[in-house]
Amino acid sequence: MSHKVRRIAAITALSILPLACGGSPAEGPQPPPPSGAAKSEPSTSAGSSASKDAPATAEEAQRFVAQVDRDLRKRWVARDRAMWVNQNFITDDTESMAATGESDTAEYVTRAIQEATRFDKVPGIAPEVQRQLLLLKLAQIIPAPSNAKERDELAEIEAWMTGAYGKGKYRPPGGSPLAKAAGKYLKADASKAKAPAGKADTSYTLGDLSRVLSKSRSYDELAEAWTGWHSISAPMREKFARYAELGNKGAREIGFADVGALWRSGYDMPPEAFEADLERLWQQVRPLYEQLHCYTRAKLRDKYGKDKVPEQGPIPAHLLGNMWAQQWDGIYDLLEPYKGEASLDVGKSLKDKKYDATKMVKLGESFFTSLGFDALPKTFWERSLFTKPEGREVVCHASAWDVNWNDDLRIKMCIEPTEEDLITIHHELGHNYYYHQYYKLPILFQQGANDGFHEGIGDTLALSVTPQYLKGINLLTAAPDNPKANINQQMKMALDKIAFMPFGLLIDKWRWDVFSGKTPKDKYNESWWALRTKYQGVSAPGSRSEADFDPGAKYHVPASTPYTRYFLARIYQFQFHRALCKASGHTGRLDTCSIYGNKEAGKKLAAMLSMGASKPWPEALAALSGETKADASAMLEYFAPLRDYLGEQTKGMKCGW
């Protein structure tokens, strides 16, 4: 599903620090990060009269973080108000308003981090203050160098790369497979089909090309769509190399070996230990992924032939229904286990029962109140956007907000009476209730326990939207336990959640190697495809060279958005779900559990959410589950029925690549 939300800032602003919720791993371009509009104070030192050459003290550190809290709150409230207006009234003026504070915010945070280094070795600092100092130092994705000229150059490169991505289009040459099919995949948006089929003046956006990848079953059309989009990123190569150089300089100025080390330092363990832990989690999941890969490769070989899809070896990436082969639900029609086994039609029930957008959100709210959580504040209903308004452009991508950082909860989405949107509402409200539980904490603690927790929570709550839950709220008249329908449903979920796992891991692995210097500029593409082959078992449609820059064809690379959070979120959501189901007293299969109506599960959930980032994430996890390590075994338990099915289907096949 593509209902992820966006709360994390990108570019030179605040990496782990919450904004309007969101950040789908799925696609781009996305809106630019919110920007604060407040003016810089002359100092972040809380008005201390102590000389900067004098030894720092624990008392000064306390005053410092208190001042930073006030400064950041002012900036982020102004930034989020501007972004809310921009996303609800898209004009050149509101875009300018939303972007106005970006440079000021980056400059302020850079200066605050540099001042915070004065307290690195000061004895006697209270643990709560130490943690805020740590979170502040981790608060830039790409730390800007202190040199103003280099800081401006870095900002210009980042703006150029995201702009190049957002403007990217592919114009097929006359007579090519896509030129001949120009109108076929644009029928849903006839205004884009400016030229007759077969003409060469039709340009394809990422959305158009993604539609080709999910709808076309022509090998040549798919190959051209994939290659066409990946051509837009080749000019980024030189810019990206300079960007890495400048970012590393900024990271070293605040005490990190490189940008990758900074990113890996946000998980309450040494960077090298965190990287090893990710590999441990991947090895837990890998057997299930390899089963799914083996099954999928066989089905694609049946469709396209042995000359296109090998019996062993990687799958050509353009055949998997997604531009980055990160999720495979676009080819579900080719992989459906039991053809014609109808799924439960919740959308029809919503329409028959005349559910409008507000009624659907009320239904989502009732899920949380059934757990013992508060009703949403009156302002939520007054300030949220539930439907696309007439006569103005809005960003319909679903997102959850606390605009004033003071329980000013809202969601923004263009709700339709569909099952997907009902699940999305539960997901978004999961973020809102996370904000509600921690909004009284210092602002640096107002975020998930780590950057994977927020997305994990949103998806955890969505896992409880089961047929049994839907029957309990009268959206289904019955919830039969049909094994074939269950396998179909598990396959749909696995093509999203399991297929994604290696891709969620390798994007940052590639960047970490670039930042550390392990991967030099003349090996960028070679390293990229080595990782994609090693982890995903996919290959490019044709030959690729160092004239290409295929990592830049994924939004999160030019937009400086760390990606490991999405890998972790998929692990956490099942671990959270299992713990909540255990607290609720559930004794059946994990995939049949819904915690709806269970106050004990609600208490466990509230205990974790209320901690925000005030404690290391293992302590937050322990508050919910009693566990202190991330563990993928819950994911494997959830998909046990599908694992059995795939084992039978792939028996005797040569799996792996």
Q: Which region among 56-70, 101-115, 605-619 has the lowest average model confidence (pLDDT)?
A: 101-115
pLDDT, tens digit (0-9, with 9 covering 90-100), for 298-308:
999 999 999 99
192 has pLDDT over 70? no
Catalytic annotation present for 606: no
Catalytic annotation present for 3: no
pLDDT of residue 193: 44
Name residue 127's beta-bridge partners.
none
Instruction: State the total domains in the chain.
Output: 2
| 255's tokens | 């005490």
Q: Which of 3, 230, 293, 431 is catalytic?
A: 431
pLDDT, tens digit (0-9, with 9 covering 90-100), for 642-653:
999 999 999 999
User: How much is the pTM?
Assistant: 0.88
The more confidently predicted of residues 644 and 50 is 644
Q: Which of 37, 181, 251, 398 is catalytic?
A: 398
Q: Per the domain annotation, does 229 fall within a domain? A: no
DSSP label at residue 490: H
Q: Per the domain annotation, does 89 fall within a domain? A: yes
Q: Are residues 370 and 255 in the same domain?
A: no
Q: Which of 556, 559, 630, 645 is catalytic?
A: 556
Q: Are 428 and 398 in contact (CB under 8 A)?
A: yes
Catalytic annotation present for 223: no
386 has pLDDT over 60? yes
DSSP label at residue 409: E
Residue type for position 508? D
CA atoms of 506 and 564, how far apart (whole Å): 8
CA atoms of 373 and 499, how far apart (whole Å): 34
Q: Which of 566, 572, 638, 645 is catalytic?
A: 566
| Domain span including residue 62 | 6-43+55-162+237-267
CA atoms of 474 and 389, how far apart (whole Å): 29
Mean pLDDT of the chain: 87
Q: Are residues 136 and 257 in the same domain?
A: yes
pLDDT of residue 630: 97
Q: Are residues 99 and 246 in the same domain?
A: yes
pLDDT of residue 104: 67
Catalytic annotation present for 431: yes
Q: How far is CA 185 from CA 1, 180, 212, 228, 447, in A?
A: 21, 11, 6, 15, 41
Residues contacting 263, CB < 8 A, separation 6+: 15, 141, 508, 512, 562, 564
Q: Are 477 and 524 in contact (CB under 8 A)?
A: no
CA atoms of 446 and 19, how far apart (whole Å): 10
Q: Are 376 and 365 in contact (CB under 8 A)?
A: yes
Q: Select from 340, 337, 636 the least CA-distant residue to 491.
A: 337
Q: Which of 318, 397, 426, 454 is catalytic?
A: 397
Q: Per the domain annotation, does 618 fall within a domain? A: no
Q: Which region among 63-72, 177-186, 602-611 has the lowest average model confidence (pLDDT)?
A: 177-186
Q: Are residues 107 and 244 in the same domain?
A: yes
Residue type for position 559? A
pLDDT, tens digit (0-9, with 9 covering 90-100), for 474-527:
888 776 678 998 999 899 999 999 999 999 999 999 999 999 999 999 999 999
Q: Are residues 369 and 242 in the same domain?
A: no
Q: Select from 312, 350, 394, 349 the least CA-distant residue to 85.
A: 394
Q: Are 7 and 23 in contact (CB under 8 A)?
A: yes
CA atoms of 478 and 474, how far apart (whole Å): 9
pLDDT of residue 428: 92
Catalytic annotation present for 272: no
pLDDT of residue 502: 98
Q: Are 172 and 221 in contact (CB under 8 A)?
A: no
* Boundary-marking domain end, from 248, 267, 286: 267
pLDDT of residue 110: 81
| 453's tokens | 């927790």
Q: Are 315 and 297 in contact (CB under 8 A)?
A: yes
pLDDT, tens digit (0-9, with 9 covering 90-100), for 68-86:
999 999 888 887 888 888 8
| 324's tokens | 């980055």
pLDDT of residue 10: 30
Q: Are 258 and 248 in contact (CB under 8 A)?
A: yes
Q: Are residues 152 and 15 in the same domain?
A: yes
DSSP label at residue 144: P
Q: Which of 115, 455, 563, 569 is catalytic?
A: 455
Q: Per the domain annotation, does 221 fall within a domain? A: no
Q: Are residues 360 and 256 in the same domain?
A: no
Q: Which region among 102-106, 230-234, 416-420 has the lowest average model confidence (pLDDT)?
A: 102-106
15 has pLDDT over 70? no
Q: Are residues 139 and 263 in the same domain?
A: yes
Q: Per the domain annotation, does 197 fall within a domain? A: no
Q: Which of 9, 428, 469, 559 is catalytic?
A: 428
* Boundary-marking domain end, from 410, 437, 472: 472
Catalytic annotation present for 398: yes
Catalytic annotation present for 397: yes
Burial class (CB in 10 A: 0-12, 13-18, 19+), 40: middle
Q: How far is CA 643 from CA 404, 409, 491, 650, in A?
A: 45, 40, 10, 10
- Residue 273's Cβ-side half-sphere holds a number of Cα atoms within 13 Å equal to 7
* Boundary-marking domain end, from 457, 472, 487: 472
pLDDT, tens digit (0-9, with 9 covering 90-100), for 612-625:
999 999 999 999 99
Q: Per the domain annotation, does 604 fall within a domain? A: no
Q: Per the domain annotation, does 397 fall within a domain? A: yes
pLDDT tier, 97 (very low <50, low <70, confident <90, very high otherwise): confident
Q: Which of 293, 427, 577, 586 is catalytic?
A: 427
pLDDT, tens digit (0-9, with 9 covering 90-100), for 253-282:
988 999 999 999 999 999 999 999 999 999
- Residue 115's Cβ-side half-sphere holds a number of Cα atoms within 13 Å equal to 21
| 504's tokens | 């969620």
Q: Per the domain annotation, does 306 fall within a domain? A: no
| 388's tokens | 């696309």
The more confidently predicted of residues 448 and 200 is 448
Q: Are residues 60 and 157 in the same domain?
A: yes
